[in-house]
Every structure is written in structure tokens, then in C-alpha cells.
Amino acid sequence: MRIRKYPTLLTSLGIGLAISANSIAYDCTNLAGYSDTANYVVGNQVTNINNQSEHHAYECTNGWCSIGGPYEPGVGWAQEYTWKDLGVCSGSSSSSGSSSSSTSSSSSSSSSSSSSSSSSSSSSSSSSSGGGSCATLSEWNETTAYLGGSEVKHINTHYKANWWTQNQNPETNSGPVGAGKPWTAIGTCSTSSSSSSSSSSSSSSSSSSSSSGGHVGPYLSDTHIGGRLVDEGGTITYGWPGVYFEGNFTGTSVGLGFLADGNNHYDIEIDGQFHSKLVNPGTTTHWITGLTDGQHSIRVGKRTESVWSISRFSGFIAGNGGEILPPPAPKTRQIEFIGDSYTVGYGVESTGRTCTGTEITAFTNTNISFGALTAKHFDADYHINAYSGLGLVRNYSGNQQNHNYQTYALSALPHDGTNIWQRPASWQPDVVVVGLGINDFSTYVGSGEPWTQDSLRVQFKSDYHNLLDRVRIDYGPDALIVLSATPLQTGNLFKDTVNEIVTERQQAGDNRIAFWFYSTLDSMGCQWHPSKADHVTMSQELINIINSNNMTW
């Protein structure tokens, strides 16, 4: 049995060191101090006091900037994956050092798109400093909630939201990116468009492109959707990893309606085969063109984890001469996965353990996680409700003690613990797989934490039983519940505790619960996470466990 050394959230302790002080002077006159309650997007600049008590400027480089804790600029052990040190401040600014908290933000990190032997993708965009044509923009409304990336017009000015905002007038709450304002003024509205954005894909048989502007005839009602979501009437909002959309259409092209999604990557399949990877679509109709005329199926699967933000989808759009057909029927089998970064498929496509923040985003792919693979084997619909770094009780290394997985366990959107998911009666999974505890036990309890190793174990067992009680109430006595564990560098406490929970419930009369201990992993994914090969192995083990438990589905 091989014991993995670093089954952690983002990085091993050995490489999570704060970067050394930068001697380059940087003008911080117009920069706000870092705040653990603010929402940051890629490109935002702040100041903060680092571990050497030096006042530095930092620039956000990916979507984890708002999480705080290990990602606090100049302070957190994982901050080098999130913030770029711009240098020692030479001008005056307000600064603050603060403890971590989890908040919602948006990012615009991107990576190169993937290709198969028959397809390749590229993207391009251009813009000017003017506001462009505002003809397609809605007037700002104080009662409307805007997502990061949303664009509006107000008093003949074009504005773009830097993060979620409501009732903050852009005229008085705007500034350049990095100024800590919810809005940025793009420019004065003109009578003609001065900006454009497009992406294209070409192959021997098909291509894809994106066009900004209004959507023509999206058909959300003709879309089969997997995963938790909020139905907003005409659009759906989502945030959990692994959400997917499926549809059928005729013709040579089809459009995908996205609204304000600057954070996610998607795998697109046509007729059951990989077609292209879509990166950070924004607000756009993304077109798949050049297909053989006839009937086709399409599947769009969310690769990325973006718990700090939400996205919206408005449905599939028929191309010229085509038609959107009724969607695939829901599967008769359903599986729900509850877990952390291992369940997400964090960094699964990497071929090495060391990854930058951008690479983590690019290499994460929930579509090929053990959960998605297992569901595909059984031809089942699935939900993947997983959140990297969070434990059931204690988060990785004792960080962010103001929340844990239980904060969001019932949430429709993973950044908002108050937005309770309204579970439809149709969602009644036959199997529930729980993978919580790696973050609770992969590091020893440190000084200053509110637990001892023993009290953590006691609370973990109690809270785990409570979670399982809720699962039984929601999904009934016949659902098979599988609890998983894996070797940790801290010893067998995790494995033994989860096994005890299974035994206790079996002794209490629950014969539809099973223990799954997976151990033969190479951990070649980002930051010692399971690799693509590992997820295949894990899926096969889980398939065997499910098959051995007298399923009647």
C-alpha cells in the first residue's frame, strides 16, 4: 500500500512558501488595502503587509483571490498561486492585514483550449477605449442584481460590473479595475459598435464561434440539465462543479446561450464525441457550425470549479434552417456525489504535481472525475456537490474557521449558504457517495484551533451521522450510501473514523451503507491530487462496490 504524502487542497507544505520581498518600488497611491470581505477579480490590485512587515502591492491572477486565509496576499502559504507581488509600495495607500473569509467573486482566468485529432480551437478579441454602441445594453436598475462581467448603460455611459452588485449606482460607484469599486466605466456610448469579441474553431467537418449581443430564440425548456441550479425563468443559474446541459437539434449549426460567464471552461460533445473546449464564454451565443446536415445531439459539461461565482445559461439556439428538438429523457438511474477536491477532479488532467493557478483551472475537469465516469458506466444522471479545501468540520490546515462544507451542503449555489436548494421531487438518487474528511484529517490540529485531535474526531462523527440522517430522510431507506476514505500522511484516524461510522449505522439496522477505502493512486494530478488514471481506477472500484450491493435499478 502506497501512502500519499500530500493529499491537500492546493499545494504541499513544502512548496507553499511565501515569496520573498520584492525590492522593486511600486506606486500604491491609488490602491486600496486588501480586505478579506471584498470580492476580487483577475487584474484587481491591492496593498497588504506581508510576512516581513513590508507594505507591498499585489495583483490578482486567478479566481481564488477572494477566499482569504492561505491566499491572503503576502501572508498566506498558498498566496503565490493567487497574487503577483508587484513590489514595495512607494506611494501612500490604505492597507490592512486580515483573517480569511470566503466570499463570492468573479475571475477571468483563461487557458489554451484543447483539441482532438479532428478539431482545434482559437479565440480572439479586440476592443477600444470608447463605450461603443449601447443599443443592446439594458439601463441600470437599482433593484436588479448584477453578476461580475455584466454590462449596463447609465446616463449615456457604458459600465461593466467587477463583481456581484445591487443598488450601487455606477455613476457614483465606479473606478478603474483594482480600485475596489463595483463598476468600471467602459466609455461614453456611441452610435456604432467599437468593440467586438469572437472565437472560432475549425476542423475537417465543423467549427465553433462566439458572438456578443442579443440571443435569438434560446430554448431552455428543450434542455436536459444535470446538477443543482436556480431556475430564473428563461435562464438558469448554477455554480456547483459538473453541471451539464444536453439537447437535440437538426441542421448544420447550433448556438449556446451564456450570460456573464467569465470563469468557467466547458467540454462540448456532438453526437457523443468530443468536439471542442470552450473557455470563459462571457455573455455570448457560442456557435457550433459546419456540421453535417441532419439530426444531432449536444452535451455541454462544466469542467471547472468556480465556487466564488455563479453563471447563467439560457439554452440551445437553432441555426439557420435548423430546429431544436425535445431533449433527451432523464435517466432512470441517479447518483449524487458529495465531497471535496478529490470529487471535483481537481487538476486531473495535469501530468505533473506542480501547477500554477492558471494550470489548476485548465487541468481541472469534473467531466472525467471518478463520479462522472461512474455515472456514465451506469447510464445515470448525476449531481456533483463538491467544494475544494473544505472539510465536514475542519477545513484544510484549520483554515477559514467561519465556514465548512456543512455551510453549503443544502445550498443551490456553493457561494451562498442561505440560498437553500429547492430539491425537485424527480431527484431521488439510487446511490449517494460521500467523500468528506480528507481536509479534516490530512493535517494535524494546530495551536489556536478550537479542537484537539480527539475532540475533532468526536465532532466529525457526530456531524457525519447528522449528514447521513438527512440523506436518509431525503432519499429514503433504499438508497445505497457509500462512505469513502483514503490513506493520509497523518495516519489511520480518517480511515478508522469513517469505518466506525459505517459499522455503527449497520449495527443500528441500516443495511444500505458501505465503506470504500481506495489506496492505489499515483497522485500525479496538481498538488498531489488523483490523476486521470487514478480517477479511472477509483471509478472501477466504486462500480464494483455498487454492483456488489444488490442494486434493483
Q: How far is residue 423's CA from residue 251's CA, in Å, rounded to a whole number?
A: 35
- Bridge partners of 48, per DSSP, are 56
Task: Please give the Cα distance from 372 to 381 (Å, whole number).
Answer: 9
Catalytic residue among 95, 102, 306, 341: 341
Rounded distance, CA 443 to CA 461, Å?
Answer: 18
User: Distance between CA 134 and CA 152 in Å, rounded?
Assistant: 8
Between strands 380-386 and 83-89, the pairing is unpaired
Question: What whole-number distance in Å separates Cα of residue 186 and Cα of residue 131?
Answer: 5
Which helix (H) or strand (E) segment holds residue 166: the answer is strand 165-166
Question: Which residues on adjacent β-strands are paired with residue 230?
Answer: 237
Q: What is the DSSP letter of 9?
A: S
**How many helices (H) and strands (E) in the chain?**
8, 30
Which sign, positive or negative, has the C-alpha torsion 302, 305, 184, 61?
A: negative
First to last CA, the chain: 34
548 counts as catalytic: no
Task: Say how far apart CA 352 and CA 349 lie, in whole Å.
Answer: 9
Three-state SS for 240?
coil
In the three-class reduction of DSSP (H, G, I as helix; E, B as strand; rest coil), residue 362 is classed as helix
Report the catalytic residues: 341
